[in-house]
Amino acid sequence: MDYKELVDAAIEGRKNAYAPYSKFKVGAALLTKEGKVFTGCNVENASYGATNCAERTAIFKAVSEGYRKFDAIAIVLDEHEFGVPCGICRQVIFEFGKDIDVVMANLKGEYEVQKITEILPKAFGPENLED
């Protein structure tokens, strides 16, 4: 799958965003090593801490279906600039691999790609917990 298709899937996923408070809708599409795509959207809550980001929604859906290895994740905002995942999402993405491409896109389908390690340098990961 090319990244344009992944961005298109994230744009579709964004349509389901539940963002009544911020009005800031985000979509994500996660590509597994097996070629399966899981979409996600942000889901806000009146208790802001209970809000879940689009990236984590997509990852948690994939993990709940038994997938643990990912090639890329696309994130779409309706900003003119390309938005990067929040810190918590960066940490969750890194948990599943140092080589994951983060495809940051806008609604026009324009995008740029960076490795998770580029946007989360010196990350804390599973190897930090090994004996």
Residue spans per domain, the chain: 3-129
Side chain identity at 88, as an amino acid letter? I
CATH number listed for the domain at residues 3-129: 3.40.140.10
Is 0.75 surpassed by the pTM of this model? yes
Using one digit for the tens of pLDDT, what is the confidence trace for 10-62? 999 999 999 999 999 999 999 999 999 999 999 999 999 999 999 999 999 99
What pLDDT does 79 receive?
73
Q: What does the alpha-carbon distance between residue 60 and residue 69 come to, in Å, rounded to a whole number?
A: 12
∠ at Cα 127 (123, 128), nearest 5°? 65
The CA R_g of the chain, rounded to the nearest whole Å, is 14
Active site residue 55: yes
Starting at the edge strand found earlier in the chain, the sheet holding 37-41 runs: 37-41, 27-32, 70-77, 101-106, 111-115
What pLDDT does 65 receive?
98
What pLDDT does 123 receive?
93
- What secondary structure letter does DSSP report for 25? -
Of 55, 79, 118, 130, the catalytic one is 55
